[in-house]
Amino acid sequence: MSDKLSSPADLLKATTSRRKFLRTGTFAALAAGVACKSEEARAAANPQTPSGQTGGTMGPHDTSVGASALSSADAMDAMHEKAMKAFPAKTAVHGNQLLKPRIVDNVKVFELTTKKIQWETEPGKFVEAWAYNDQVPGPQIRVREGDRVRVILHNQLPESTAVHFHGLELPNAMDGVTFITQPPVKPGQSFTYEFTVPNAGSHMYHSHHNSAKQVGLGLLGAFIVEPKAKGQHDDPDIDEVLILNDGAHGYTFNGKSFPATVPIVAKLGQKLRIRFMNEGMMIHPMHLHGMHMTVIAKDGWPLSAPWKCDTLNVAPGERWDVIVNCNNPGTWAFHCHILPHAESEHGMFGMVTALVVQK
């Protein structure tokens, strides 16, 4: 479960590697603390020191190359380096924060308030967002199969809205589709959904009224249902949600664009579960460097024949759960492999983050 938005007090006493990493604050520091313990990485990072047969070695320079080619390459590289060194960049607020329910008569009560806000996707870049509880993605709802749940929606938007629980097999009246299962919830109104959670898995909630606009502007979040009977993969060391989006806010992971995306930090040997969710309009084939992913569930349903990959195509509305055995130390690029979603002449941007495996 994500812990990245615990209280400051929590953060101060925290000892997990993730928290430590977030405090160090720059990719460079990260690399210094992790990857550069490796002989090979040191050699690569310092071209003046050939490393022999075991690592990357920068060779001698061909002096026939013109000075102008070199200086234009230097200028481009400086931009790329600047983008990379800014990672992970700080922004004011993160989305997908775990939402603690109130417990009322054995019912887990969640309140969601929709509002128009300014959202910082990367340092200094603010976009108009329509948000649940002032976050994009909205807060993470996490419950257990069989739980009784109440979700109270307060609509403070200038448009009507409604909440669809994408993937949950609810009674029809709770399905959140305006003019099919309920009237629209007008500006200023509230609406209460209540149900017993029917099926486990990685699900989502989002607007189902004027949805191309409303979901595009941020009315979306993760709805995770833990199974009653735990399976083989239900107690990973790290459990991450990665919501892909490509709407009005640009190319984002959990509402942030590189370098403001948040790296996943694991210790060597840990078991990582990633829950991919696509809330955008395009496919995003997610490529992890250095280790493969074992695909274990589709839309919350376990696969009887899991399969391995390093590039997983995630289409709009889909959820895919994967396991990564973090057995390869270092800082690994992790990005959409539609390259124009991840890199431009100015360096990496958009759908890029990293998996850091610390020795």
315-354 residues near its own copies, rule: CB under 8 A:
315-319, 328-333, 337-340, 342-345, 354
Asked if 226 contacts 234 with a C-beta cutoff of 8 angstroms, the reply is yes
Binders of its own copies in range 212-251 (CB under 8 A): 212-213, 215-216
Among 3, 147, 159, 226, binds its own copies (CB under 8 A): 159
Q: How many residues bind its own copies (CB under 8 A)?
A: 124
Computed over its alpha carbons, how large is the radius of gyration of the chain? 22
Cβ pair 278, 244 in contact under 8 A: yes
Tokens 């759908």 belong to 351
Which residues, other chains included, contact 340 with Cβ-Cβ below 8 Å and sequence gap of 6+? none
CA 90/CA 85 separation, integer angstroms: 12
Q: Which stretch binds its own copies (CB under 8 A): 127-135, 137-145, 180-188, 226-234?
A: 180-188
Q: Which is nearer to its own copies, 4 or 298 (CB)?
A: 298
Q: Which stretch binds its own copies (CB under 8 A): 6-14, 56-64, 252-260, 266-274?
A: 56-64
Q: Is the peptide bond before 137 cis (omega within 30 degrees of 0)?
A: yes
Q: How far is the CB of 6 from its own copies (least distance, A)?
A: 28
Question: Which 251-310 residues touch its own copies, going by CB under 8 A?
Answer: 281-283, 285, 287, 289-292, 298-301, 303-310
- Please identify, among the stretches 91-99, 133-141, 147-155, 251-259, the one whose residues bind its own copies according to the rule CB under 8 A: 147-155
Quick one: which of 296, 159, 173, 288 has its CA closest to 227?
296
Instruction: State yes or no: residue 164 binds its own copies (CB under 8 A).
Output: yes
Q: How far is the CB of 9 from its own copies (least distance, A)?
A: 33
Work out whether 31 is an interface residue with its own copies (CB under 8 A): yes
Shortest spacing between CB 249 and its own copies, in angstroms: 15
Specify the pairing of strand 201-207 against strand 141-144.
unpaired
Question: Does 177 contact its own copies by CB under 8 A?
Answer: yes
Residues contacting 105, CB < 8 A, separation 6+: none
44 binds its own copies (CB under 8 A): yes
Q: In what side-by-side order are the strands of the sheet with 271-278?
A: 252-253, 238-245, 271-278, 319-325, 293-298, 301-309
